Amino acid sequence: MSMTYVIGSECVDVMDKSCVQECPADCIYEGLRSLYINPVECVDCGACRIACRVDAIYYETDLPDSELAHLQDNAAFFAEVLPGRAAALGEPGGAATLGAVGVDTPLIAAMPARNIPAH
Ligand code: F3S
Ligand code: F3S
């Protein structure tokens, strides 16, 4: 299985999207309260991790224990049928074309609202 970068809990309710601008694979997709990296489409370049001002992005082997759930959860955003949708997203082939999905995984949706730091 190939390796991937992962968006963790610090993205929730922040959604800075600087990562999206830097991603050469256009594989960072927008939910409602967080973004998610498609682990199949990610080419492991790491540009997104450097771009994120709240340090929400990790290489999968560098995830702290408190963020480990997001490895499976980023993958689940694509592999599982999201609430209100008829089919799994799979590998859409580009976040810009797909646009905001407008829904989150159950893990993210259940997170308490976070105060958004000022820009
Ligand atoms: Fe989120 Fe950071 Fe990207 S806050 S949208 S992971 S730049
Ligand atoms: Fe894109 Fe980050 Fe992967 S920039 S290709 S999601 S390592």
pLDDT in tens, 21-76: 999 999 999 999 999 999 999 999 999 999 999 999 999 999 999 999 999 999 99
Query: What residues make up the domain containing 64?
Result: 5-110
Please tell me the distance between residue 23's alpha carbon and the centre of ligand 2 in angstroms: 5
- Tell me if 42 is assigned to some domain: yes
Question: What does R_g of the chain's alpha carbons equal in angstroms?
Answer: 13
Q: Is the CB of 37 under 6 A from ligand 2?
A: yes
Number of structural domains found in the chain = 1
- Contact between 28 and 20 under an 8 Å Cβ cutoff? The reply is yes
- Contact between 119 and 56 under an 8 Å Cβ cutoff? The reply is no
% of the chain with per-residue pLDDT over 90 = 93
- Tell me if 97 is assigned to some domain: yes
- Tell me if 36 is assigned to some domain: yes
Q: Is the CB of 7 under 6 A from ligand 2?
A: no
CATH number of residue 100's parent domain: 3.30.70.20
- Contact between 34 and 7 under an 8 Å Cβ cutoff? The reply is yes
Residue nearest to atom 2 of ligand 2 (CA): 48
Residue nearest to atom 4 of ligand 2 (CA): 23
Confidence of residue 2 (pLDDT cuts 50, 70, 90): confident
- Tell me if 118 is assigned to some domain: no
Q: Return left, alpha or beta for 102; rule: phi > 0 is left, psi -120 to 50 is alpha, else beta.
A: left
